Copies of this chain bind each other. A is one copy, B any other.
Amino acid sequence: MSGTINPPIAIRAVPSPSVQRLPVYLRFLKEQRDRGETVVSCTRIAEEFGQLSVQVRKDLSITGIIGRPKVGYKISELIDAIEDFLGWNTKMSACLVGAGSLGSAILGYEGFAELGLDIQCCFDTDPKKIGSQIHGRPVYDFREMGKIAQQHRFEIGILTVPASAAQAVANTLIGTGVRAFWNYTPTRLDLPAGILCEEVKLSASFALLSSRMKSGPTLVENDF
């Protein structure tokens, strides 16, 4: 096989927008399933969300699901396919750092369990919180984070600390084997290759809203 050139394989990258729409469909599908429905078409889903059926079909296709013409998809299969694609059917262990009001809110949202996210504990510097529980999760001393994280081998770190602390926290957690961050601070982290980070930018979301409010109500469309 010598002489072969680097494979010109068309590695079709999965489009991010599609991935981000999957959870929306997933929620709807589970609703339908719980109502006793067994099949659903792209047309039906698209109608629900004011989209085009083609886009829904393309989005779903990235999971590898195959449907049947004139019928649609089997709901149970489709749910499995999406959860499988997103990795939501296997638990990922996580710790949360910074048990302020935002941190507490995240700990209190039961919905995350559905995403396979298993937040096992949190860390904080506040002596009044250390030793207590927040929404059922123990609060540990921030100074022990390195040690405890080493033992637990968390896969994900959820950052809800003040912006100024974010980088240091990330560095420590990377040392313990954490390989992905869900970053709620407005800080761009400097990370080694292979470490993932997804930033939650609420101000970006609000920017879209407020800039559209400025342009006046007549010109604006409501997007997906």
A residues at B contact (CB < 8 Å): 14, 16, 19-24, 27, 48-50, 85-88, 92, 100-102, 104-105, 107-109, 111-112, 115-117, 135, 155-156, 179-180, 182, 186, 188, 191, 194-214, 217-218, 220, 222-223
Contacts and interface: CB of A to CB of B under 8 A. Distances in A.
Contact of A196 (B105, B155, B212): B212
Contacts of A21: 204
Contacts of A196: 209, 212-213, 217, 220, 222
Question: How often does this chain occur in the complex, in copies?
Answer: 2
A210 B87 contact: yes
Contacts of A212: 180, 196
A38 to B, nearest CB: 23
Given A24-B201, A101-B104, A101-B109, A194 B217 contact: yes
Given A86-B211, A117-B206, A23 B198 contact: no
Contacts of A101: 101, 104-105, 107-109, 135
A187 to B, nearest CB: 9
Contacts of A116: 210
Contacts of A203: 23-24, 27, 111, 115
The 7 closest A-B pairs by CB, nearest first: A105-B105, A198-B209, A101-B108, A20-B204, A194-B217, A23-B203, A87-B214
Contact of A20 (B23, B112, B208): B208
Contact of A201 (B20, B92, B135): B20
A204 B24 contact: yes
Given A24-B204, A155-B213, A180-B213, 18 more contacts: A19-B208, A20-B201, A20-B208, A21-B204, A23-B204, A24-B203, A86-B211, A92-B213, A101-B101, A102-B105, A115-B203, A156-B209, A182-B209, A194-B218, A195-B217, A196-B212, A199-B205, A200-B205
6 contacts: A21-B204, A24-B188, A111-B186, A116-B210, A197-B222, A198-B206
Given A203-B115, A218-B194, A213 B20 contact: no
